[in-house]
A and B are shown apart, each in its own frame.
Chain A
Amino acid sequence: MTSSARRGGTASSFRSLSTAMLKGFVRDRAGLFFVFLFPLMFLVVFGLIFGKEGGTKPKIGVVGDGPVVVALEQSGAVELERLGATDDAVRKVRDGDLPAAVLAHGDTVELRYAASDQTQAGLVRGIVGGVVDKVNIAASGQPPKVRLDSQQVEDSSLKAIQFLTPGLLSWAVSTSAIFGSAVTLVSWRRKQVLRRIRLAPVPVSTVLSSRLLVSMGIAVGQTALFIGVASTPVFGLSLSGQWWLALPLVMLGTLAFFAIGMFAGSFAKTEETATAAANLVVLPMAFLSGTFFPIQNAPGWLQAVSQALPLRHLTDGMLDVMVRGKGIEALAVPAAVLVGFAVVLGAVASRLFRWDDA
């Protein structure tokens, strides 16, 4: 007997298992779609819906002319629609086509607004009121008593793509990691591939870590794709200085969600159950973690719940390093949380590991 055949060789097992899984993944069209194109569709659709300008400006009708109208135009806070007659403008407001209209004749400025949309009405009243005050002060020739210097905190603009990219990327990475481990584990157990591997001198750790490596490769691919697409002029993502810190974060996120998937996969008997379990974990978590839309406006208790979720910390960390311009210090909390989840769930899942259903 050849002794080389007897030695096993963990390195060669690891390499060949990773290669086998990668080939299987690349040749599976449906899998590729769900891992790459499906989340990208969200990015494209949301990116286009919310447009480049982020929060939309209210559009108000204007009749007549004067210093107030000029000042409104310069404020940039509203969009103006020139209208010919007062009747015309009032009807449009009444019909709900416009939230408000400014009627300027000489020194009188009238504001007609629809109270049906309270938020818009308040916003427009505030803006127009502010502009009128400013014009009055300027006309009085007095210097203003209080000067307001306002600047935006976020980078450049309120562009939706700035928070969509880190959020949706976090969601995409965690979803593929959790499915990658849960469904693979169950499918291999059901199809007896695990039993067959069990008959070879290969440690469980080699089997799992080779799949983890493939998941990490997939996550890197997703990151490159997302950043690449979001950075095109159509979407106009602008990354901040140390955005590449997203990469270690993506790795840690993959690790944590891989462990969660292993945990789910140790209970599920069929791929369908595993898929359902993974969805059950990741979908509510995605909504509560600010991956699709910012969570900052949610009630306090919901925020507290979301602080317990690994995806929340992944998303926060990604936002911090990709668009908020923070440095490596922003990784501390997310890294600790993600590693914590990975270690605890990974340890439990390893104890629950089964080669077969028998």
Chain B
Amino acid sequence: MSPIGGADGTIVVADLRKRYGELQAVDGVSFTVAEGEFFGILGPNGAGKTTTLEIVEGLREPDSGSVLLLGEKPWPRNPRLLPRIGVQLQASSFFDKLTAREQLETFAALYGVSRGDAADMLDLVGLADKANTREDKLSGGQRQRLSIACALAHDPDIVFLDEPTAALDPQSRRNLWDVLRVIQQRGKTIVYTTHYLDEAEILCDRVAIMDHGRILAMDSPAKLVRGLDAPTHVMLAEGVLSVEQAETIPGVEGVNADGVSLTLSTRTPAPVLAALAERGALDGLQVRTATLEDVFLHLTGREYRA
């Protein structure tokens, strides 16, 4: 193997900028992704995720800034690099009127990969029973999985997935998560974009939160949430405890009753929960810790809306 990648990162992106007319779509984006890492770029629609990803893949030329993938420049089109990256475009792109297996075999053949290897990929994404179904007859989730299989057909080192779970029903989304985890277990470096913050929190080793073409924060989801120093909310059924009683519990910073439930905020949830258990006041208990959405709210001053 070549000495590229390694300590300097499999993907090194520095100060990317891209403008469409008046709109600064990407405004100074830098990040590094290590080998085998699952890296997520999150943000609402229009944040500049796709543009960033396409520049990194070598599909677009940045106005300024630099990208190195495995030590190589992706722009202009770099045939040495192409076999080592696998890309799922945001809009799925298939040949007309071919079955799932034929799509996969055609894409695989573009990289000189044999049919047998390609067929394994259908198994991986759970489409073995749809092998002979025409692509246009697949459901949205199945089409996304086929698209991912096509991106993986040539066994690339780096996989780019642009909103693979967008517009899927919850069940399909969860199925896809399993596929993504299997890909990571195979040692691939994954860069993926999503506008579902909850999903990124579950899947990613590290995330970059993007808005208006800039990265606002970048770290592991847990560290981002912890760094927020936001209180945990403990919710109880109304009437289990009075507001006055709740306020006397040590560690409780605020109490809020909305007629349906009683919400206590605390930064020390463990002793508060112990105190509630002591009083037998655990009816309808729910605990909500801070999420990436709270991080987004904190960073931008506005509620997160995908």
Contacts and interface: CB of A to CB of B under 8 A. Distances in A.
Contact of B110 (A1, A4, A17): A17
Interface in B56-102: 57-60, 77, 79, 82-85, 87, 89, 91, 93-98, 102
B83 A24 contact: no
A356 B59 contact: yes
How many interface residues does chain B have, given as a range? 35 or more
B87 A199 contact: yes
Contacts of A201: 79, 82-83, 110-111
A187 to B, nearest CB: 8
Interface string A193-234: 101111111100000000000000000000000000000000
A146 interface: no
A238 to B, nearest CB: 40
Interface in A18-61: 19-21, 23-24, 27-28
A177 B117 CA distance: 35
B102 A4 contact: no
B105 A196 contact: no
B114 to A, nearest CB: 8
B157 interface: yes
B93 A13 contact: no
Nearest to A28: B97
B154 A195 contact: no
Overall SS of chain B's interface: loop
Contacts of A195: 59, 89, 93
How many interface residues does chain A have, given as a range? 20 to 34
Given A5-B112, A16-B105, A198-B77, A358 B155 contact: no
A192 B93 contact: yes
B109 interface: yes
A199 B105 CA distance: 16
Contact of B155 (A1, A15, A191, A192): A1
Contact of A4 (B85, B89, B107, B112): B112
29 contacts: A1-B84, A5-B113, A5-B154, A5-B155, A6-B84, A6-B112, A8-B79, A8-B111, A8-B112, A12-B112, A16-B109, A16-B110, A17-B109, A19-B106, A24-B97, A27-B96, A191-B91, A192-B93, A193-B94, A196-B87, A196-B89, A196-B150, A197-B110, A199-B58, A199-B59, A200-B82, A201-B83, A201-B111, A358-B60
